[in-house]
Structure 1
Amino acid sequence: MVEKDGGRAYAFVCDLADREDVYRMAEKTNKEAGQVTILINNAGVVSGKLLLETPDHLIQRTFDVNVLSHFWVSYHLQKY
């Protein structure tokens, strides 16, 4: 729909729980699409378990995706 109306659309796949992947994708995005002027940062995950029944690796993933990734994406996109 964007291209039909004369615009350009881009899609990039990134593991938001992986800081280095976020950094690489931010650089790639800026090289291929140019400076990002609108960012909708709406990633989020849940484990589906009660907090005290959630294993450490799922707690870490929840924080990486729901908290840290928003910083990583916002910070690194504005750097380029």
Structure 2
Amino acid sequence: MNSIGDNCTELKKKYDSCFNQWFSERFLKGDTDDSVCAPLFKIYQQCVKDAMKVQHIEFKEIEGDVLGSDKEQKVPPKSGSSSS
């Protein structure tokens, strides 16, 4: 999957690769120190934040729980059906 910003996609791929390698070769063997990918994550995270600004997406719009809240969009009931 590509990143939100076209210029962030390569950074995302590098971070994903680092994370997958850390997860399979370290985490699953008990090493929970995830700092090995932290520098890549910070660079990728900043790129995403910059892309969000360009696309006028505010961070507060994407944070927080939606599922199970009154903000969750639900499928309207079908016409003619009754609920018990």
TM-score using structure 2 length: 0.25
Higher RCO structure (Cα 8 Å, ≥6 apart): 1
TM-score normalised by structure 1 residue count:
0.26
